[in-house]
Amino acid sequence: MARILVIDDNSEILDLLNLALRRNNHEVILSADGQDGLAKALAERPDLAVVDVMMPDMDGYELVRRIRANPSIAQMSVIILTARGQPVDKSAALSAGADVYISKPLNITAFLKEVEELLGISKGKKEATIFPVFSLRGGIGRTTIATNLALLLQQISPTLLLDLSTNSGHCALYLGLKPIRHWGRLLRLRDNTLEKDTTIGGLFLAHTSGLKLMAAPPNPLQGEGFSQEQLTTLLKTLRKKVHFIVVDMPPVLNQAAQAVLEEAQRTILLSGVDHPGIQTTIQTLEVLKRQREQFLLLFNRVTPGPQPPAEALRRALRLPIAAIIPYDATQTTALHRQNPSALSNPQSPLVIALQTTIKQLLS
């Protein structure tokens, strides 16, 4: 059972949602305007707020912005309801900080399903498959690969992108999102908080594609971040919420990285094609002998120049190669425009290579 706050100036909608949510064993708090709704959110600390857009004293967008700006309730999950069904309205809702956008007239069955998905309480759900994108060498497009891979997997099934950078992660930037919520807030809470679905779900950022992002803290961390035990617990909770989890890994073998590699089904080991890049990959494989069978090699060329033969790379590393991504200057341009190639240029070499990689990941 969750505690759910419904804010709508339409009494019929309030009655309808009150009845539907109570029948599903939720505790319901009702409010007919934005100011009162914000006060109740602060006083009652619900797990989820359902917010109408069109209200007389404060519209739903402003209400959600105020919720996200208040540290005591910022991690609350939020659904926005609106009679406006255009793409620009969905974008406005998600930009304000909503997790889910639902247009009226309401389909109660679909609404309740969204509530369960958001709260992570759906029954009989298969746990998500975890795909880390990993390299101990920086500057070879790890975040580019992780972001585009997650967007492509989202086209198949609900996906979460987890940015584990401890040095100001860039996944939110690449997706055009502001990291107003991030996993850094969990470090200040007790360890058992990592097991609470409602707390974790409230930290997600929503992209217009439907992809969910758990962003990294915008400022570099002073310290280690998650312990191995903490991140294992967090991953267990996250796996209940989506079908795929793509992890943008830090370029280090810290406790958090070890936890992800232990939990992953397949790991994309990203490598450069130059001698230093190949040497780093060989040394990584030497250190991580136990995980060797779960690695899938992906080469990414980030500078122009001749490309080594695939067979020579395969012999040097003694692992199957998912793909070799040729140099493509538009990779950086697309990300700087906050419009990744998976969405803006589906025929690009990067996207074609990642589609091939996905087939191998899911085979």
Q: Which residue has the tokens 């089904």?
A: 265
Spell out the long-range contacts of 333-336 with Cβ–Cβ below 8 A and sequence spacing 24 or more.
335/144, 335/147, 335/174
For residue 124, the model assigns a pLDDT of 47
Question: How confident is residue 112, by pLDDT bands cut at 50, 70 and 90?
Answer: very high
Q: Give the CATH fold of the 129-362 domain.
A: Rossmann fold (3.40.50)
Strand order in the sheet with 27-31: 27-31, 3-7, 48-52, 77-82, 100-103
For residue 242, the model assigns a pLDDT of 85
Compare 15 and 190 and report the one with higher pLDDT: 15
With 60 as the cut, is the pLDDT of residue 113 above it?
A: yes
Task: Give the residue among 351, 362, 284 at the shortest CA–CA distance from 317.
Answer: 284
Question: How confident is residue 192, by pLDDT bands cut at 50, 70 and 90?
Answer: low
Residue 64 phi/psi, 5-degree rounding, is -65, -40
Distance CA 28, CA 47 (A): 10
The encoded tokens of residue 295 equal 């690695």
With 70 as the cut, is the pLDDT of residue 190 above it?
A: no
Non-local (6+) Cβ contacts of 6 within 8 A are 13, 14, 17, 18, 21, 28, 29, 30, 31, 49, 50
Q: For 70-94, how does the pLDDT look when each residue is reduced to its tens digit (9 = 90+)?
A: 877 877 889 999 887 777 888 888 8
Q: For 141-187, how does the pLDDT look when each residue is reduced to its tens digit (9 = 90+)?
A: 999 999 999 999 998 888 999 999 988 899 999 999 999 889 988 88
* Rg of the chain on CA atoms, in Å: 22
Mean of the pLDDT values across residues 108-134?
A: 80
The encoded tokens of residue 145 equal 């690969």
Percent of the chain residues past pLDDT 70, beyond the cut: 94
Same fold, 3-119 and 129-362: yes
Cα-to-chain-centroid distance, residue 160: 3
Q: For 247-276, how does the pLDDT look when each residue is reduced to its tens digit (9 = 90+)?
A: 999 999 888 899 999 999 899 999 988 888
Q: Decide if 81 contacts 106 (C-beta within 8 A).
A: yes
Distance CA 126, CA 240 (A): 7
With 70 as the cut, is the pLDDT of residue 238 above it?
A: yes
Q: State yes or no: cis peptide before 349, omega within 30 of 0.
A: no
Q: For 123-139, how does the pLDDT look when each residue is reduced to its tens digit (9 = 90+)?
A: 445 678 999 999 999 88
Residue ranges of domains in the chain = 3-119, 129-362
Strand stretches in 70-193, DSSP E: 77-82, 100-103, 129-134, 159-163
Mean of the pLDDT values across residues 209-224?
A: 89
Q: Decide if 127 contacts 239 (C-beta within 8 A).
A: yes
Q: For 329-357, how does the pLDDT look when each residue is reduced to its tens digit (9 = 90+)?
A: 777 777 677 889 999 899 999 999 999 99
Residue type (1 letter), 147: T
With residue 35 as reference, give the H or E element that holds it.
helix 34-44
Distance CA 61, CA 359 (A): 40
Q: Which residue has the tokens 């900080």?
A: 97
For residue 191, the model assigns a pLDDT of 58
For residue 295, the model assigns a pLDDT of 92
Question: How confident is residue 121, by pLDDT bands cut at 50, 70 and 90?
Answer: low
Distance CA 278, CA 132 (A): 19
Q: Give the CATH fold of the 3-119 domain.
A: Rossmann fold (3.40.50)
For residue 117, the model assigns a pLDDT of 81
Distance CA 226, CA 259 (A): 10
